[in-house]
């Protein structure tokens, strides 16, 4: 993995959404490249800071009900068009 690859995939790495081999390649590159290791640590700290400040709130039940009803209506309309 090259430094450009690290820059393109850093957010996927921090999310833990890289494939196992890419994750391993990413970590190996960090062990060999102090600049990328530093960049990754900074991005991790920023991510942790932002996530600590967010207060996720669940959607109100009324909204969930309306969305579910709309999605069902859309699905039913789509099925009618296909048949």
User: What pLDDT shows up at residue 83?
Assistant: 72
Is residue 47 pLDDT above 80, yes or no? yes
Domain boundaries, the chain: 3-82
Alpha carbon distance 20, 3 (integer Å): 19
C-alpha of 75 from chain center: 27
| Mean local confidence (pLDDT), 2-18 | 94
Q: For residues 16 and 22, give the distance between their C-alpha atoms in angstroms, rounded to a whole number.
A: 11
Across the chain, what does the average pLDDT equal? 93
pLDDT at 2: 94
Q: Is the pLDDT of residue 80 over 80?
A: yes
Average the pLDDT over 37-41 and give the result: 97
Dig out the tokens for 54 from the structure. Answer: 């967010």
Q: Please give the C-alpha separations between residue 64 and each of 47, 60, 71, in angstroms, as whole numbers.
A: 28, 6, 11
Quote the tokens at residue 39.
């960049």
**What pLDDT is attached to residue 24?**
96
């Amino acid at each position: 993995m090259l430094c450009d690859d690290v820059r393109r995939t850093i957010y996927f790495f921090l999310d833990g959404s890289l494939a196992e081999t890419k994750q391993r390649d990413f970590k190996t590159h960090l062990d060999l490249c102090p600049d990328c290791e530093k960049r990754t640590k900074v991005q991790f700290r920023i991510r942790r800071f932002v996530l600590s400040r967010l207060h996720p709130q669940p959607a109100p039940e009324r909204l969930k009900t309306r969305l579910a009803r709309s999605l069902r209506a859309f699905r039913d309309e789509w099925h009618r068009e296909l048949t």
